[in-house]
Structure 1
Amino acid sequence: MPQRLVVTEMSHEPRKRFAEELRQLRHQRGLSLRELSRQVGWDASLFGKMERGGTLGGPEVVQALDQFYGTGSLLLILWELAVGDPTQFKEQYRRYMMLEAEAVSLWHYAVSAPPGLLQTDGYVREALAAGGLQGEELEQQVEARVRRRKLLEGDDVPPFRTIMSEAVLRLALRDKLAWREQLRFLAEAAERPDVMIHVLPFGTGLHGLTNTDTMFLRLSDGRTVAYTENDVRGELIEETERVERLQRAYDAVRDLALSPAESRSFILRMLEEVPCEPST
C-alpha cells in the first residue's frame, strides 16, 4: 500500500486553521499587526486576537482581509466553518452538540426560553447580551447559535417535538418587534410536519421537569441520551436507567400539555397581544 501523502501540516480544526491562515498570509506579506491595521482599517489588537484564536472577528473584517490578500472567499469560508464548529461551545456542550447533529429524532422540554433550534436571530442576540456578552464575542456566539437551526432545515430533517411551559411565551423580549418575530416563527414552525409544538399552560401544577430544560436525542444505533440544563449547570446523561426515568417524566408532562393545534392557536393569541410598533 502506498504511503499516505501528507498534504499540509496545518491544523484540521476549523478555528485553529483559520488563525493559522491569518498568520501565514500576514507573514508572507512581511507585515506587522500595526501595518496591517493601517492598510485594512481595523484595530491591530483585533487582528492579534484573531491570529491567536482568541476571537473569530465578524464577517465584515474577514471579507476585508480576503480583499486585501486577494484570497477570493477563502478566509470567509474558513471563518464560516469555524463559526459552525461545535468546539466553540464550552467543554460541557461539545459531546452533546456532536450527538445532536447525529440524532434521528429529538424531544425537548423548555422551562422559560424557546428551544435553541427554534430561536430567531433577534432572540439569540438579546438573550446573549442579557448574559453579559458584547462586541465581537457577542456576534461570534450569535452566529454559532443561529447555525443550530440548520439542523431542522432541508428535506431530510429529524422529527422534533418541544413542550414549552407557558412561561416561555410570557417572558417577552424588550424589543417588541423582535418578540413578534419570535412568536411568528414559532407559529410557522408549528405548521411543519416535522415539528410538533406543545404549550404547557400555567395551572397544571408541579411535575418532574418543572425547573429543568431537557433534550432527548434518539441516535441511529437505537440509544437515547438526554441533556438537562438549569441555571448553574448542564449534564449529558447516557445511563439507560436515568434516561428512562426522565422519559417517564416527559411523557407525564406531555399528557398535561395542549395538543399541537391548540398550542399553535395559543401562540397566535399571544402574538395578537404584542404591539405592532416598537414602544417609545
Structure 2
Amino acid sequence: MSTLLDQIVAATREVIQRRRAEVPPAELEASPFFHGPTLSLERALRREHLAVIAEIKKASPSRGVIRPDFDVADLARQYKAAGADAVSVLTEPAFFQGSPEHLALARRTIDLPLLRKDFILDPYQLVEARALGADAVLLIAAVLERDRLHDLHQAATELGLSCLVEVHDLAELDRIDFDQVRILGVNNRNLRTFAVNVDHALEVFAHVPEGIVRVAESGLRSGRELAYLRAHGVDAVLIGETLMRAPAPGDKLRALRAEAETHRRPPQPARP
C-alpha cells in the first residue's frame, strides 16, 4: 500500500512532465528573475535573534484547507512588516493547493529571501524556481537518495539558489553530505502519525556538526516553544499553520516573538 508521501511524489512527477512540456527550460531561462541576483537564505538565518521563516500555504493533506481567505500578496506584506527573516511559499498543487504563481507573486511583492517549498525531484524544478524568483529551495531527504540529494544541491548552488535540506529522523542524516549542506531543517512532525514533538529537532541536531544553520520545522504554536528552541541552539524556525490560521498572520508573528522574548529574559525583581 502506498503512503501519502508516495502519492505526493507520484503526483509531483506527473506535474513535472506536464510543466516541462508546457514551458521548456529555455523559456524559463528567459525570465528576468532567472538572471537576477538572489538573496542568501543562510545569511538571513544567521542572526542574533531566533530567525523566522514565515510560510504562505493554503492547505495541507493532514489539515485540509487552512486559510480559505488566501491573498498571497497581502500575506507577504504582513510577514515583511512583522519582521520575518524569510518567507516560504508552498507551490505543490495537488495536496497543498499551491501554485508556482504564488511564488512569483510573493517575489513581486517583497524583497525578503523566498524559499520554494515543494517536493523537488528534478533539476527542471530548480530552473523553474529560479525563473519564478526563488532564492532558495527545499530538498527533502525522505524522497531523495543520497546521490540524488547531493546532485540536486549542487545544481541548485550553481544556479545561485540556497538549499534548506530537511530530515525527519536520525537515519536520514546518513544521506547528508555535511561538506556541502549549510542549512539543515528537522521536521518535528512524524510522517506516519502526524504527531508533533518539539524536542525531536533537538535530538537530531545533537548529531549534526557545528556551524550548520539549524532550522526547526512544523507544529510550533507558542513563544515559549520558540524561546526553548533558541536556548538549545536552534538558529531559526519555520512556522506555517499557526500563522495561517490567525486572522492577521503578521500580528500573530509579532505576538509569538514578543512572547518568546518574555520567556528568554530572566524574571525581573518587583519594584519596592
Q: TM-score, with normalisation over the residues of structure 1?
A: 0.27
Q: Which has the higher strand share?
A: 2
The structure that has the greater radius of gyration is 1
Q: Which has the higher helix share?
A: 1
Q: TM-score, with normalisation over the residues of structure 2?
A: 0.27
